Structures are given as C-alpha cells and as structure tokens.
Amino acid sequence: MDDLSQAIRKYALKNAAEHGSARDSAVLAKVLSLDPSLKKDMKALATQVASVVKEINAMDKGALQKAYSEYKEEFEKEHLEKAAKSASHNFYVEGAVEGSFKTRFAPEPSGYMHIGHAKAVFIETELARIYRGSVSLYFDDTNPAKERQEFVDALKKDAKWLGLSFSDEYYASDNISYEYKCAEKLIKKGHAYVCFCSADTIGEKRSGGEGCGHRNQTEDANLSFWKNMINGEYGENQVSLRFKGDMKALNTVMRDPVLFRIKKDVHYRQGDKYVAWPSYDFNTPVIDSIKGITHAARSKEYELRDELYDKLLDLLEMRKPRIIEFSRFEIANNMTSKRNTNKLIEDGLVSGYDDPRLVTITALRKRGVRPEAIRDFVLRSGMGKSESRSSMEELLALNRRAIDESSKRLFFVREPVRLEVAGIDKIEVKLPLHPSAELGHREYSCSGVYYIDRNDADALEVGSMARLKGAFNIRVIEASDNLLRAEYKGTEKIDALIMQWVSEGNFVQANLTLIGELLKDDEFNRNSMVKVNGYAESYASGLKDNDTVQFERIGFFKFDAKDGTFFSL
Ligand SMILES: [Zn+2]
C-alpha cells in the first residue's frame, strides 16, 4: 500500500472505531488537512476514500478493533503532539524582574507530597528559570498536632527524586518569636484582640456577621491576655487571638479571622517551647515578607485569603510580596485529599501512601512513572486559572513515551497452554530486546515444547497456521482444551496469527498487577488492582528492581522486586 492508501485506511479505521462506522466526509477532511495538495484531484481522492470506507464499514467489530489496534501507538503519539501544541504554557508573571525573582515551595509537613504539590513546585521552578530567580523550600509547620519529621524527610526525598533543587530551606516554626512581636504590634495598634469564645460561637457569629464582646476590650487588656496566652496559662480551645477586621465584610475571610490559637502537642521541631501557634493566614504573609519572597504562588482555592494577606502586611508596615495563582490540579477518578486517602489506608483498601494506585509522588515512583513525565504532565496545564481535570491515562501516555527507548520487549503468556511441536529436536532462537533501540538480544535453546497464551490457543483449530513470534511457523494437527499439537513449518515469515510464546526450560512463573482507576463513580473501585499469573520468558528473572519492560501485546510494566510483581504502566 502507498502512503496515501495507508493514511486513508488509518483514519477510516479511527473514524469507525470512534463512531461505530466511518463517514466519507470525515476521512476526506482529515486526509486533506494532512496534505492540502490532494485537492488537485478531488474526484479520484473521493472515489478512493469511498471505497476504503465501504470496505471498513463492512468489517465485523472484532476485525475492526484488531485492525485499529495496529495503529494505537501512532494515534497516541499524534494525540500527545497535538495536546503539547495547544497547552497554554503561559508563564508570564506580573511584576517579575529578571534576576530578582524569588518564590517558595510551601508544603506543610503533615502528609506526603502528591501530584498537586508537584504542579506548584514545577511551575515555581519554571518561573525561576525564566526570570533567572530562585525557589526556596519553606516548611509551613505551625500545627504541632499534625506535623512530623518523617514528613519533612519524605517531602525532601520526593523533591530530590523529581530532580528539584532549592536555593535554601527554612521553617515557619523557627520564626515564632518574631511572629509574636508582629502580633503584639497589631494588638497595640488596635488591630487584634484576644477572644474567649468557643470555636462554634466564633463560627456562628462570623457567618451571621456580628462581633462578640471581646472585640471591645482595651488594648491593655488584650496585651495582658496575649501575654497569658503565650505563657501557656490557657488551655486549648479556650482562647484565640483574632484580627479585628470587618464583621460585615462580603469577603467572609475578613470577618475577624483567627491569627493564633493554643496547641499543646509537642512540636516535632520546637518541642514544647511554644503553645500559641500562628494560623496559616498569619504565618504566610509574615514569613514570605521576611524571607524576601517576591512572588508567593498558591492555588486558586486561596483566592479569598489574598485580601487578608495584603492587609496584614500593610498594618505591620512590612514589604508585600505579590501573590500568583493557578488552578488546583485534579486527576479524574483519583484523589489527593489526605483525609480520604487515610480512610482508604485505615480500611485496608490500599496498602499505604505508596500504593501504586495513588497519586502521591512515592506511589507514582513505586508504580514506575518517571519524573520527567510528571513534570511534563503538570506543566501542561500551565498557569491557567480555570479548573481542569487531567486523567491518569494522560500521565501514563507521557510516561510510556519516556520509557519506550529503554524498555526491553519480552514475552509473557497468560493462562499458559501447552503446545507440542513435532519436527523439532533442538532450535536456537535469538530475539532482539527492542525493535529499534540497541538493547541487545536474548537467546534460547528450545526443544519441541512451548506454552502460548490462552487467547491465542482458543483461536487455533486443526489446520490453522500460526507463527511463534521471532522464531518459526506451525500448523496445528490436534487441538484440545489444554494441549495443542502442531508440526514445524519453517521460519519464513507468513501472514498468520503471530503469537508470543515461552519454551520448556526457558520460562519463569510471573505475575502482573494490572492497575485501573482508583475510583469509580466517586467510590473506591474494587477492581482497581487485578493480578494476572502466567509465564514470562526466563530473561525476566534477571530484571532488577524498577526496570521497565514491555510485555508485547500486553503493555508496559515496571518490575517491583519487593512486591515480586510487575505493575502496569
Ligand atoms: Zn469572643
């Protein structure tokens, strides 16, 4: 077939696979968009398209799917190229000055790094590159009940694995005494007060837009209560320092938010040095300002808090960084929420934060997703503010492109069925480990006994011709459920069913872990992990932890030595 016939066939198959049947006009338009010069002879082209479309629409569903699947990789590649072109890599930032741009990655060490964090930090790193600036690592750690050194270590390890580096590293909790001074300044100027209302009362009054009596305390009274607060004289939930904002403000964040509260848990880094801890709303502007941040990035869900951020720094007469925002990153049928993930772990539905179905960085690493694929994936959504949902499939497609060149091709047969071939005493088979990359070969010395995939075995009947991929041809002479007998029919390539195979003495038992989507209709997907047992050719026994392979006609997998399985990619 020439190139044009190939293209017509390919897009007709795609059109038919996507819409049930192919249409002349759609195929014609596609082919013309690829080569406008074909307009010269529209009549001939239309005739050719019509005949191919007719032929394809006459195919039965199975044949259509099979023919279509031959082009799967090409379509995947085209899809990725198109998506990359249309991605809005709009990395412009207002007020950024080349050479003096400084931002920070600000995780709270209360959980593991996930794909949402990766989006923030890769955008920040990209901006720092463009504006020749720097990214600091800032641990937002002022909630002793939730934070742990284990999470600090894990976040650093994951960031390093992603290939990230930071100009410096600092912790909010190392700056508490400075934050106390700032709080005192606000109290003295009448912009903050100590409130003894319960959290429930505060919540009710904030939504009702009314202030409490503590709002009218004198500055002196507030100062003395504040001293008691930081000296540990009150219990948790008894007292808070609140910003005196506007209880009628339309932006409800400005209705006297809490700036400090009492937490008596021992802090992983500061021990029992402090009991009054700043809230995120107080912490962030103060620390960003003193650390020289020029642009503080955060996701759009914090938008309403921007007014408070600016207001506090104005009142404290401190330098104001700019805030840059981007949309939250969501993966369809998966989750990043700590609470929901913990629930799955507690219920024993997933094995831990590194369960390969999750989108934490440790889970993606365990599954076999490469850092560069994660980077490309999260940067595609750019700095757009509109909510977008990406799919795991998109990430995996990028990953397959990243690992393709280095993944060895091997055979794996599911539900092995014995195949005895007459006419062979001993045959040496040498198979390339990759169709194009120079990855070497594997060689087997085979006799007359083989194992093939159940699907292939079921398709064979007495008289069928088939080819053991890369080896030789057979003709079936006897077929039962669990045993096939065939005769050797030479090595010349023929047009017949091409099968994967392993030979007696040259295979190992192996299992594949097929990973599907974590959630289905917002519930845990009970079929999100399926194990498949079978035989892999013995070359597989020499694979090392984290090696990726392509089991031909099944897909890409990562070998996990610890779990003794192959995770689907
Ligand atoms: Zn009150």
Convert the pLDDT of each residue in 460-488 to its tens digit: 999 999 999 999 999 999 999 899 999 99
Could you tell me which residue, 18 or 386, shows the higher pLDDT? 18
Distance 257 CA to ligand 1 centre (A): 11
Distance 110 CA to ligand 1 centre (A): 30
Distance 143 CA to ligand 1 centre (A): 22
Given this model, what pLDDT does residue 409 score?
97
Q: Helices 24-34 & 42-57, crossing angle to 10 degrees?
A: 130
What residues have CB less than 8 Å from 108, skipping those under 6 apart?
139, 140, 141, 143, 146, 147
Distance 223 CA to ligand 1 centre (A): 15
Pick from 291, 24, 77, 84: nearest CA to 174: 291
Measured between alpha carbons, how far is 309 from 301 in angstroms, rounded to an integer? 14
Distance 240 CA to ligand 1 centre (A): 9
Could you tell me which residue, 558 or 71, shows the higher pLDDT? 558
Mean pLDDT computed over 219-243: 97
Given this model, what pLDDT does residue 464 score?
94
Kind of pairing between the strands at 507-515 and 529-537: antiparallel
Say whether 526 sits in a helix, a strand or coil: coil
Distance 142 CA to ligand 1 centre (A): 23
Helices (H), 162-244: 176-188, 199-208, 219-230
Given this model, what pLDDT does residue 81 score?
61
Distance 288 CA to ligand 1 centre (A): 29
Domain residue ranges of the chain, discontinuous segments joined by +: 3-70, 168-319, 329-405, 408-568
Given this model, what pLDDT does residue 77 score?
72
Per-residue confidence band for 161, with pLDDT thresholds at 50, 70 and 90:
very high
Distance 248 CA to ligand 1 centre (A): 16
pTM score, two decimals? 0.80
Distance 173 CA to ligand 1 centre (A): 27
Distance 239 CA to ligand 1 centre (A): 8
Asked if 529 and 513 count as a contact pair (C-beta separation under 8 A), the reply is yes
Residue 254 has pLDDT above 50, yes or no: yes
Distance 231 CA to ligand 1 centre (A): 20
Pick from 443, 440, 488: nearest CA to 470: 443
Share of the chain above pLDDT 70, in %: 97
pLDDT single digits (tens) 115-149: 999 999 999 999 999 889 999 999 999 999 999 99
Measured between alpha carbons, how far is 171 from 287 in angstroms, rounded to an integer? 9
Comparing 385-399, 410-424, 480-494, 552-566, which segment has the lowest mean pLDDT? 385-399
Residue 542 has pLDDT above 60, yes or no: yes
Given this model, what pLDDT does residue 18 score?
81
Count the helices and strands in the chain (H runs, E runs).
17, 29
Distance 206 CA to ligand 1 centre (A): 11
Distance 280 CA to ligand 1 centre (A): 20
Angle formed at CA 435 by CA 429 and CA 438, multiple of 5 degrees: 90
Identify the residue whose tokens are 């959504």: 381
Measured between alpha carbons, how far is 465 from 509 in angstroms, rounded to an integer? 28
CATH architecture of 408-568: Beta Barrel (2.40)
Kind of pairing between the strands at 529-537 and 523-524: unpaired
Distance 565 CA to ligand 1 centre (A): 58
Asked if 253 and 305 count as a contact pair (C-beta separation under 8 A), the reply is yes
**What fold is seen in the domain 329-405?**
Glutamyl-tRNA Synthetase; domain 2 (1.10.1160)
Distance 253 CA to ligand 1 centre (A): 17
Distance 196 CA to ligand 1 centre (A): 5
Torsion angle (degrees, nearest 10) of CA 251, 142, 172, 153? -120
Distance 16 CA to ligand 1 centre (A): 68
Q: Please provide residue 481's backbone torsions phi and psi, each rounded to the nearest 5 degrees.
A: -60, -45
Distance 217 CA to ligand 1 centre (A): 10
Residue 291 has pLDDT above 70, yes or no: yes
Measured between alpha carbons, how far is 59 from 71 in angstroms, rounded to an integer? 17
Could you tell me which residue, 302 or 257, shows the higher pLDDT? 257
Return the amino acid letter for 184.
E
For CA atoms 266, 268, 271, 272, the dihedral sign is: negative
Per-residue confidence band for 358, with pLDDT thresholds at 50, 70 and 90:
very high
The highest-level CATH class for domain 168-319 is alpha beta
- The structure tokens listed for 520 are 């289905």
Residue 21 has pLDDT above 50, yes or no: yes
pLDDT single digits (tens) 50-105: 999 999 999 988 888 888 888 877 877 776 665 554 444 567 787 888 888 999 99
Mean pLDDT computed over 404-418: 96
Burial of 333 (0-12, 13-18, 19+ CB in 10 A): middle
Distance 213 CA to ligand 1 centre (A): 6
Residue 279 has pLDDT above 90, yes or no: yes
Burial of 146 (0-12, 13-18, 19+ CB in 10 A): middle
pLDDT single digits (tens) 179-218: 999 999 999 999 999 999 999 999 999 999 999 999 999 9
Identify the residue whose tokens are 């800032």: 138
Distance 225 CA to ligand 1 centre (A): 13
Measured between alpha carbons, how far is 110 from 92 in angstroms, rounded to an integer? 31
pLDDT single digits (tens) 359-372: 999 999 999 999 99
Measured between alpha carbons, how far is 161 from 169 in angstroms, rounded to an integer? 17
Distance 468 CA to ligand 1 centre (A): 80
Distance 251 CA to ligand 1 centre (A): 20
Distance 201 CA to ligand 1 centre (A): 8
Measured between alpha carbons, how far is 249 from 327 in angstroms, rounded to an integer? 25
Pick from 55, 115, 127: nearest CA to 90: 127
Mean pLDDT of all residues in the chain?
Answer: 93
Distance 309 CA to ligand 1 centre (A): 22
Q: Rounded to whole angstroms, what are the CA distances from 372 to 75, 183, 223?
A: 22, 43, 52
